[in-house]
Amino acid sequence: MVMLSILLVVGGYLVGSIPTAYLVGRWLRGIDVRRYGSGTVSGSMVYEHVARWAIVPVGLFDVGKAALPTWLSLRWGLGEGTAALAGLAAATGHNWPLFLRFNGGRGLGCFLGVLLVLFPHGCAWLLGALALGWLLRDSAPWAFFSVVTLPALAWMMRADPSVVVATLGMALLTAVKRVEANRRPLPPPGRERWLVLARRLLLDRDIRPHRDWIRRTPE
């Protein structure tokens, strides 16, 4: 059982590392999505710079690659703790993919996959926030709010302790990845650097205007 748990966690990371958005960008338009918009390997960059319809298969695959190891852990009787760990491993692979020198996405699709299996109310909470952000044409701050409040929601709804810990892990992964921003350079030390770090954490970008950020091109 221990070896099976280890295999599921490692397998979850490797499956999570499959860079769906990057592959779709290469196949459909011959571009590297890491050089466009926010620079994330994400469905949102596929939507903005590749093909709007392609966000559907990309999003479904990103949800599924985390839901699968989570569900298999439960199916094979390894418990919710192992299921949460395997799902978070897939999200970690998505954020820091082995196959793209650890330049990845933000993990929201993978979080949805884990929550769909372990905590459906959390999945609905995150989807609702993303829908609100889409209506307001800036989902980044709403996504951050929904992820960092997930642990409180799980605790109030008396979810299994491993689920509460998993949601804390999601909040931590989100904060670290936003600030790290695929190792994008920071301004020199000073006030501007702190402003950029705050924008990255709260808005998931280095400048205030949302459209200017996501529509950036290499030219």
- Please report whether residue 20 resides in a domain: yes
Q: For residues 159 and 190, give the distance between their C-alpha atoms in angstroms, rounded to a whole number.
A: 43
- Under the banding of pLDDT at 50, 70 and 90, the label for residue 91 is very high
| pLDDT at residue 219 tops 80 | no
Range of the domain at 64: 2-214
pLDDT in tens, 120-143: 999 999 999 999 999 998 999 999
Rounded to an integer, the average pLDDT of 199-212 is 94
Query: In the chain, which residue ranges form alpha helices assigned H by DSSP?
Result: 2-16, 20-29, 43-49, 55-75, 79-95, 108-118, 120-135, 140-156, 161-180, 191-203, 210-214
Rg (CA), the chain: 17
Q: What is the pTM of this model?
A: 0.94
In a domain, 78, yes or no: yes
Is the residue at 171 inside a domain?
yes
Mean pLDDT of 101-125: 96
Give the mean model confidence (pLDDT) for residues 95-107: 95
Asked if residue 35 belongs to a domain, the reply is yes
What's the confidence (pLDDT) of residue 68? 97
pLDDT band at 1 (very low <50, low <70, confident <90, very high): confident
pLDDT at residue 154, rounded to an integer: 96
Mean residue pLDDT of the chain comes to 95
Judge whether 219 lies within some domain: no
Tell me whether residue 196 is in a domain.
Answer: yes
Q: What is the mean pLDDT of residues 182-198?
A: 95
Residue 160 lies in a domain: yes
Q: Look at the chain and report how many structural domains it folds into.
A: 1
Measured distance CA(189)–CA(214) in Å, rounded: 25
Give the residue-averaged pLDDT of 103-125. 96
